[in-house]
């Protein structure tokens, strides 16, 4: 099993269906990751410990997804200088807008790189993490190039189909 380089944390098991999309992308690229449930509000001490211990465990990037008043990514960022990527989740009657604002609106000094709401955000968080890792990893950089080329190829194929 490859060592954990990216931790994917979520506030509740109800976030799993969305957040596992991040792990699936990381798996596809052969980058070791883990899925963890930890809540900024319900398990504050555990969340702080997770963030504080991450770097010494060899983790390089943390992806954090949560819904409602989503302080998870921000609290994690407060306890580590590792890059933290936030994924706002659509869990309440405000459709993720609550989570988007509470994830993105960090005060100066403690950044959270905030993605799209929901599954697209979870996927983008993984790709963004790969882009950071690619700065010092040629294999991942090459795989990202292939990923882009494949995207172009698929759209060209769809264009051919609709043109008939
Ligand atoms: C947030 O509250 C979690 O991230 C989740 O999106 C939301 C609802 O959690 P559950 O009540 O379903 O456990 O903290």
- Structure confidence by residue, pLDDT tens digits, 31-45: 999 999 999 999 999
- Say how far apart CA 86 and CA 74 lie, in whole Å: 8
Percent of the chain with pLDDT over 70: 99
Average the pLDDT over 68-81 and give the result: 98
- Cα of first residue to Cα of last residue in the chain, in angstroms, is 46
Residue showing tokens 């506030």:
11
Nearest CA to 91 among 22, 36, 34, 11? 11
Ligand 1 centroid–CA 129 distance in Å is: 24
pLDDT of residue 164: 77
What pLDDT, in 10s, does the model give residues 47-70?
A: 999 999 999 999 999 999 999 999
Residue 39 CB less than 6 A away from ligand 1? yes
Residue 11 CB less than 6 A away from ligand 1? yes
- Going by pLDDT thresholds of 50, 70 and 90, the confidence category of residue 119 is very high
pLDDT of residue 38: 98
Q: Quick check: 19 pLDDT over 70?
A: yes
| Minimal-distance CA residue to ligand 1 atom 1 | 67
Residue 96 CB less than 6 A away from ligand 1? no
Mutation choice for ligand 1 from 8, 13, 15, CB with most ligand atoms inside 8 A: 15
CB 16 within 8 A of CB 10: yes
Please state, rounded to an integer, the average pLDDT across all residues of the chain. Answer: 97
| Minimal-distance CA residue to ligand 1 atom 3 | 11
Q: Quick check: 157 pLDDT over 90?
A: yes
């Amino acid at each position: 099993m490859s060592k954990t380089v990216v931790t994917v944390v979520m506030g509740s098991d109800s976030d799993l269906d969305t957040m596992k999309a991040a792990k699936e992308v990381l798996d596809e690229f052969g980058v070791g990751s883990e899925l963890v449930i930890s809540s900024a509000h319900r398990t504050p001490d555990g969340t702080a410990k997770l963030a504080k211990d991450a770097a010494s465990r060899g983790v390089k990037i943390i992806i954090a997804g949560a819904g409602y008043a989503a302080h998870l990514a921000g609290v994690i960022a407060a306890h580590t200088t590792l890059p933290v990527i936030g994924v706002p989740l659509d869990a309440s009657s405000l459709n993720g807008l609550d989570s988007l604002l509470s994830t993105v609106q960090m005060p100066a000094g403690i950044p959270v790189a905030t993605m799209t709401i929901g599954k697209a955000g979870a996927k983008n968080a993984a790709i963004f993490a790969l882009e950071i890792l690619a700065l010092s990893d040629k294999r991942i950089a090459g795989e990202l190039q292939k990923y882009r080329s494949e995207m172009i190829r698929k759209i060209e194929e769809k264009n051919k189909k609709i043109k008939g």
